[in-house]
Each structure stands twice: as C-alpha cells, then as structure tokens.
Amino acid sequence: MDKFSQAVIKHKKSVLIAFLIIVVLSAVLSTQVLINYNLVDYLPKDAQSTIAIKIMEKEFIGEMPNARIMINNVTIQEALDYKSEIAAISGVTSISWLDDIIGLDTLKTTPIEFLDTTIIEGYYKDNSALMSISIESGKEKDTVNAIYEIIGDQNAATGESINTAESQEMSVSEVMNAMIILVPIIILILIISTISWVEPLLFMLTIGVAIIINMGTNIIFGKISFITQTVSPILQLAVSLDYAIFLLHSFNDYRSSHEPHEAMVLAMKKALPTVAASAATTVIGFAALIFMRFGIGADLGLNLLKGIIFSFISVMVFLPVITLMFYKYIDKTKHRKLIPDFKKSGNLLMKVRLPFLIVALIVVIPSFLAQSNTPFTYGMGSITNATRVGKDTASIEENFGRQNVLALLVSKENVGKEVELCNALSEIPHVTSIISYATAVGAEIPPEFVPKEAIDQFYSEHYTRIIINTDTIDEGDVAFDTVQTVLDTTALHYDTYYLTGQSATLLDMKNVVSADTQRINLIAVIGIFFVLLVTFRSLSMPLFLLFAIETAIWINLSFPYFTGQPLSFIGYLIISTVQLGATVDYAILLTNAYLDNRKTLPKKEAMRVTIGDNLVAILISALILATAGFTLALTSSNPIIGELGTLLGRGTLLSFVMVTCVLPALIVFFDKFIQKSTIKHDFHK
C-alpha cells in the first residue's frame, strides 16, 4: 500500500489530469445513455406474457391497443377527421374506431339511429367518440405530446402508453431537482461536523466525480431504467460520502505530527481496510439485487455496485491528490467545531439500553409478520393519479366504462374449438366482450371468403388471437383472479396458450417478484454475515449486528401494512437490500470501537466510551443518508421514487436507533458469549 500511495502522490498532476479527462468523457457519454420507462421489459424472457408479446410481434400485424382517446362534442365526420390527424402522428402504429367495425361506407351513409346500439355505444355515445390506438414502445413521450396538441384540454386520453409518457415527463428533471436541494443540505451537515469550510467541498467534489464517471460508463449497458437513472446518483452520494470523510479525518490526525505528504501516505494506509470493509458490505447488499429474475434488480444493482467501486477509487486516488493541492486552503479556512462532541451520550444510552432492547424484542415478531403481509402494487397507475392522465381516465370511464384488454394466443386448430373456448371465456365474471374470428366474422364463414387484412387480425401461421375485454382495474385481487381464471379456462381447451395485456404482465411480475424477494434477502444476509464473520472473527457478533439492522428493516417495511397503504414492490425489493448494505456500516464502526476498548476496559465502561467517541460519526452518516431519502420523497413527482425515498429516510433513522440503543444492550448482555465465540481477541479481565 505504501508504494501505491507514494506513486499516487508523486504523480498527482498526472492523476488529476487523467481524472479530468475521464470525467469530461463520461459527462458526454452519459447523454447518450437511453432511459427505459417500461417495467414490462424487465420481466424474464420465459414469462408467459413476455412470450405472448414476442409471438404477436413476430406473427401478427399491428400491435395491441395501449391507449384510448375520447373526443367530446363531435359529429361522426368530425370524429373521422380527428382519427386521420392522430393516425398521421409519428409513433402511432394503429388506430381503430367505429368505421373499422361496421365499415366506413355504412358509417357515412346510414343514420346513427338505425345502427346496432349495442355496438355503437362502445365507440360513440352522447356525441363523444372513443378511439383505441397503439403507440410504438420507446416513443411514448413525443407521441402523446403530439396527440395532446391535436385533442387539446377539452378531450381525454388514457392507457398504458399514456401512463408511460407521463412518467417520462416526470422523470426528466428528477435527479436535478433532488440534487439542487440535497447538495446544499449535505454541505451544511458537513460544515457543522468538520472544522474547515473547504473540506465539505472536497468531499462533494470527490463523490461527484465518481457519480459522473458511473453515469457515463452506463453506456456499456446501452439503456438503463428510469428507476436507476433517478435513484442511483443520490444513493451513491449518500452511501459513499463516509469513505471520503474517514480518509480526510485520518489525514488531519496525522498532520499534527507529520508533514503533509507523509501524513497522506499514513492516512491512506489507515483508511484502506476500513473503507474497503465498508464498501464491501454495501457492494454485497447491492450485488444481491443482481440475482433477481426481474431485470430491474440487475439494472439497479449493477449500476450501484459500479458506483460504489468508482467512489472507492475516487476516494483512495483522487481525494488524496486534490487534498494535497489544497491543504493550505483547508488550514486557512478552519473554524471552531460547530457540533457538540456528545461525550456524555454514552452514559445516557447505557441507562436506557435495556428498555430499548425489551421494546425491540416485543416488536420484532409482529414487524416481521406485518412486512411479510404488506400489500404490493406492481404497475405504473399510481404515478398518474394526481395528473391530467388521472382526470382523463376518470372522465373516459364515466362515459364509456372501464376497459382492460387482454390478448389470448392459442394454437391454431379448428374454429369449432375456438367457439367453445370463446363461449366459456364469456361466462367469466368481469369479462365484458370477446373479439375473435368466431365472434367478429362468424365460425360458419370460411376464411377464404374474408378479406386478408381481417383474417390477419385473428390468425397467424401458428396461432389464433382472441381479444378479451374486462372491466377490472389493471391490478389487484379482482384483476389477478380474472387473469388466472382466463388461463385456467383456456387450459381446459388448449395445451398451448399465452396471455398478455397489462393485468397479465402485472400478474407475471407479481409471481416473479414473490420468488425474488426471499432469494435476494437471503443472499444479502448470508453475504454480509460472511463479511462480518471475517471482519470480527466471531460467530456471535455477526448475528447481533444483523439482528439490529434486520429488525430496523422489518419495522420500516411494516408501516404500509399497519397504515393500510399498499407498497410499490420496487421500494420493498430495493430498500431491504440497500438499508442492510448501507447502514450495517454503523454497526461495524460501533462494534470495532467496542472491541478495541474492551481490551483495556470492563464491558459497561468500554461501551460507554465507545458510544461517546463514535455517536457523532454515526449520527452524521445517518443524517446524510436519511436526508437523501427524504429529499427524494419531497422532490420526486413520481410516487414510486417518492415512496422509495420515504423508506430510505425512515429506514436509516430506524437503523441508527437500533445500532445506538439496542445493539449496545445486546453486546454488553452477551459479553461472555462473545468472548467464547471470538478468536484471537484479548478481552479485559
């Protein structure tokens, strides 16, 4: 390590230039990274709804409708004019209305009152026209904006692609808005906790460099999810600031007895094992996300893992260089300590440790059971409830009712079998209509007498497509039960079948996530257990540390259950690993200090001194991470991101309480057991 440190310091100008070049290049590359707003794309390839989508793209002409547009106060001809304008928009792959059902000539020449009312009212009612359109994936934002320009504020649009466009609009400035508020707050916290006005700027610059490099290197993935784009920079900043703080504090300690260059070599040597251990636990927590079958986990996990590695490199290479270049300014801008040292806090927390431990033991089982039964949401509908899309959806449903479309693909066999299936499907509760060759054209009419474009809507070389309209919302027990009943009913008639549509993909998402949850939590816990096992060379210490953090996680995730509010599955999956990986550092810091003090002091005195010496460091770290979470919650217009921020902020504070109030009680109470289960450690007798 000495040779590496001396090489970095010796060539500090070259190191600085290299980092500046990489940062500029990364900043340019980050603008070329595409953002994916469609969570369905992250489903496993073997999910039945994913297979259905691939089959339809390959074998059928035209995509499934993914939006509905309602034009108010129009005649038949005016509605047809609107349809032509919308069809001409780039990104609109298809649009259908009444003329596609009964024929354009019939619609133009026959008075509306002479047409079949049961058909007409699904498309034209009280002078309002309802059209179904398909918008090309990836072009939702521009296409929907163009549609809004045509239909204006007096008309309405709803559907999956409209929701996606709205989430794109929301996410454009999410990171910037959060950073504008977060950075000044963190700088203020750092100013209070340091003794120089310049030090906080060096901290932020170091991690800022790592964030830009991380965002630029996302070009290797081609595209990342909007969740990763919004959350990753803020988590990277909040989680890895500790590394920079520890190195610079070590440098300042050595400055009192060594010249600057030598002090930095010693500081880097001292900081390396501590920073590496801290980064390792965080990396393991993030790495667990990679093992999710649902691809959003790998998308976010790889990004955060990469970000922590870049932060570690930046702290151990870039920070020493700029610190040695600006240490004179650090000296000139020193100020008195603005935060109390909390030395007497050890006495207070030692007095309340047993009541806190008792409370923790009382709530741990109910919290575990509650978080295990928390209701989840899987779709994007919550994002748009408070926007124009939410109002438009309510308006369309009031006029024409709710429509939730499913597309069923079955092996192409005979029309008689198709009729039997359609009759059975029509009997399912919440199924409002069935559109297939048998129902729309007629089983008795041979396909050779039907125009090819009509045939292509229902038949491909290998499959028959049946459109099922339901009146359920996109997700929830009723929607998922309806989807499952459709699948079960189809299984009685066909051996090969696939179902897609918003509710079908969300049910697949639910099934995949349910399996992912247990696996990634177990991987994270086992991984961090082994890191703690190696760090402390103790069988008991990892158990106590994990109990403290896991209890905080369970309490955090039990809030939605007790308040009756469903929780986004993304928040659940991310926070259970992020909170564990990020806040276990507090427990490591406290435990390391206790074991050092325990060599010369009795157990209670060792813990009292440990708390007094380390409470400020843990508090500052917790404040930064909690502030990052609550800033996300306050600034994000995306409810999924905001909810994740609330979980992060609340979870960090709960971890802080568990580490400073409950963990000391466990360690002191089980001191003799710890002695017997720890190797090569001299405890004071």
Question: Mean pLDDT of all residues in the chain?
Answer: 84
| Structural domains in the chain plus CATH codes | 1-32+173-338 (1.20.1640.10), 63-169 (3.30.70.240), 340-379+511-685 (1.20.1640.10), 389-507 (3.30.70)
Burial class for 408, CB neighbours closer than 10 Å (0-12, 13-18, 19+): buried
- pLDDT tens column, 355-390: 988 999 999 999 999 988 888 887 765 555 557 787
**All residues at 6 or more sequence positions from 322 whose CB lies less than 8 Å from its CB, including other chains:** 16, 202, 205, 206
SS3 assignment, position 539: coil
So what's the pLDDT on residue 108?
78
Looking at residue 216, its pLDDT comes to 94
CA-to-CA dists, residue 370 to 8, 355, 377, 555, 556, angstroms: 51, 23, 16, 9, 10
Q: Would you say residue 651 has pLDDT above 70?
A: yes
CB 629 within 8 A of CB 648: yes
- Give tens-digit pLDDT for 280-309: 888 887 888 888 888 888 898 899 999 999
* 644 DSSP assignment: H
Statement: residue 514 has pLDDT above 80: no
Specify the pLDDT at position 60: 79
pLDDT exceeds cutoff 60 at 192: yes
Most confident listed range (38-42, 313-317, 581-585): 313-317
- The pLDDT, as a whole number, for residue 448 is 67
pTM of structure: 0.80
Q: What is the full DSSP assignment across 176-237?
A: HHHHHHHHHHHHHHHHHHSSBSSHHHHHHHHHHHHHHHHHHGGGGTSEEEHHHHHHHHHHHH
Angstrom CA distances, 337 to 19, 203, 346, stand at: 32, 18, 20
Give the model's confidence band at 210: pLDDT under 50 very low, under 70 low, under 90 confident, else very high. Answer: very high
pLDDT per residue as tens digits for the range 235-286 = 888 888 888 888 888 888 788 788 888 888 888 888 887 788 778 888 887 8
Tokens representing 73 are 């106060």
Mean pLDDT along residues 640-659: 87
CB 144, CB 135: distance < 8 Å: yes
